[in-house]
Structure 1
């Protein structure tokens, strides 16, 4: 039997419907009774297993007394097509604040990611994150701290009672880029070494010496869970893209398979990260870029 026919868009809309119901203090059974629907219909809409039409969404939300602006936002979500390519604009937010991403991460049982030029947000220290956010063209100066806090909040995923299996591929150039200077990078590298001690987290370094590789197209993450089809998440400065078609997912699986061949293994990566942390610690100031031996 195949996995249920559910999409990222349907699951996000379902989560919004459930939140609206819980806000007014109704159970699923009580909501079904109020609407004159079956409980299974309400349950499937809220879980994303049933594609909620614009009409059903309007009836449901109106029964919850949702404000007009929020109603219009969610009706627009209901109108969008499920064609395997779902674009979510960031607006004035960063991806960390994107509800679509948080929902998918929270249900994933495994997440495999690749970063080319920076460290994954789930692994960033607060100071490293602040430097990254502060230099984002999308964030006003007075909005930096709130965005940093949002990024730190997402890291609760690592400390969850039953966390997903996390595998991070990170390119050597991301680790050598002295974001914030040597002190910030020393603390960041120590953080990475610590994360490798967690039983559900792995970090593998892709050496610069490997040259060209399939990951040059940019960073991404593959998210999987037991109840839904896998998806690939890709982001840029202004929007995020959720890819769910089997063909797209297969393409990114091939990229990951090649990265697995090129990257250092977990033990080698941990040793090299510790060496680079020591080099940053010995650097005199933030203007110096350490030069540890190239990973082999």
Structure 2
């Protein structure tokens, strides 16, 4: 089971839920076994193109979505996934099932740790949106992801933030935005399952200079590396890729301030 198979299965389940159909109802409509439908929607079986096309047609999937899901089925055995345009649903699916998340960011506070004011200022300043309603939608989506911070059993979080992240004055001259964000980070750092580590600028070059990334681990699937850009998202899952990013995290662990030092550093700012 890889990212493509999980995504295809999840999309099929979403469409089935919209119709109010369960596995047994779907199996009757397709005249196949319930076990086969269950295996496809759980990402355990690669459906042949004819059966998948019939599955999608029965669900009323048409046009671009039909072509997208057929391509997912065709490429199901390929590891990794490039999503273009950028979408959050695949990331959210993995975060909701995570047991541990490790992340590095060198430019901005990660979305899972942002306050609404910081998120709104950041989105406005980097030009992701200009219409107030669109900005509100993006902020709401970002805040909604943060429910996993309170998930039970708790997800183990480790965030590495470069000092530059904490000093960059987001908020266009409104110091209360950064003051509120730094206070929020200090409070989150007090949680037992959240570790926030500062990578001081005095370290100079560091192992994560290639850019930000997120390692998502779960009991349900193999580790996944998530990297996003302005217009696309990349999910990596091959063993060599995961090993490379674990090496980066180990390097950051050696040079970053420990959690207690990091909390004091944030409080001083």
Length-normalised TM-score, structure 1: 0.84
- 1:186 is the counterpart of 2:179: yes
Whether the 8 Å contact between 1:134 and 1:141 is mirrored in structure 2 is: no
Mapped to 1, the partners of 2:103 and 2:181 lie a distance apart of 18
Whether the 8 Å contact between 2:186 and 2:267 is mirrored in structure 1 is: yes
**2:229: which partner in 1?**
236
Residue 263 of structure 1 deviates from its aligned partner by 0.8
- 1:254 is the counterpart of 2:247: yes
Residue 61 of structure 1 deviates from its aligned partner by 2.0
Going from structure 1 to structure 2, the CA distance change for 1:53 and 1:167 (only over 3 Å counts) comes to farther
- 1:89 is the counterpart of 2:79: no
Residue 67 of structure 1 deviates from its aligned partner by 4.6
Q: What is the SS of the residue equivalent to 2:197?
A: strand
Residue 74 of structure 1 deviates from its aligned partner by 2.5
Among 107, 119, 123, which residue is 1:117 paired with?
Answer: 107
**1:135: which partner in 2?**
125
Residue 257 of structure 1 deviates from its aligned partner by 0.4
Structure 1: unaligned runs, 5 residues or longer: 1-5, 277-296
Q: What is the SS of the residue equivalent to 1:139?
A: coil
Residue 53 of structure 1 deviates from its aligned partner by 3.8
Among 196, 199, 203, which residue is 1:203 paired with?
Answer: 196
Whether the 8 Å contact between 1:206 and 1:262 is mirrored in structure 2 is: yes
Once the two structures are superposed, what CA deviation does each residue of 1:166-220 show, in whole Å capped at 9, x if it has no partner? 1111111111111114211110011111111222211111111111111000000
**1:268: which partner in 2?**
261
Residue 84 of structure 1 deviates from its aligned partner by 2.7
Residue 50 of structure 1 deviates from its aligned partner by 1.9
Going from structure 1 to structure 2, the CA distance change for 1:102 and 1:52 (only over 3 Å counts) comes to farther
After superposition, residues 274-285 of structure 1 pair within 5 angstroms as: 274-276=267-269
Among 44, 52, 55, which residue is 1:57 paired with?
Answer: 52
Q: What is the SS of the residue equivalent to 2:158?
A: strand
Whether the 8 Å contact between 1:10 and 1:52 is mirrored in structure 2 is: no
Residue 82 of structure 1 deviates from its aligned partner by 4.1
Number of residue equivalences: 266
Whether the 8 Å contact between 1:8 and 1:104 is mirrored in structure 2 is: no
After superposition, residues 138-157 of structure 1 pair within 5 angstroms as: 138-142=128-132, 143-157=134-148
Mapped to 1, the partners of 2:219 and 2:30 lie a distance apart of 31
Residue 228 of structure 1 deviates from its aligned partner by 1.3
Residue 161 of structure 1 deviates from its aligned partner by 3.0
Going from structure 1 to structure 2, the CA distance change for 1:86 and 1:160 (only over 3 Å counts) comes to same
Whether the 8 Å contact between 2:224 and 2:242 is mirrored in structure 1 is: yes
Whether the 8 Å contact between 1:193 and 1:274 is mirrored in structure 2 is: yes
- 1:100 is the counterpart of 2:93: no
Alpha-carbon RMSD across the aligned residues, in angstroms, is: 1.8
Whether the 8 Å contact between 1:14 and 1:45 is mirrored in structure 2 is: yes
Whether the 8 Å contact between 1:114 and 1:219 is mirrored in structure 2 is: yes
**1:289: which partner in 2?**
none
Once the two structures are superposed, what CA deviation does each residue of 1:54-82 show, in whole Å capped at 9, x if it has no partner? 33322112222335454334224333454
Whether the 8 Å contact between 2:46 and 2:76 is mirrored in structure 1 is: no
Whether the 8 Å contact between 2:97 and 2:220 is mirrored in structure 1 is: no
- 1:175 is the counterpart of 2:170: no
Structure 2: unaligned runs, 5 residues or longer: none
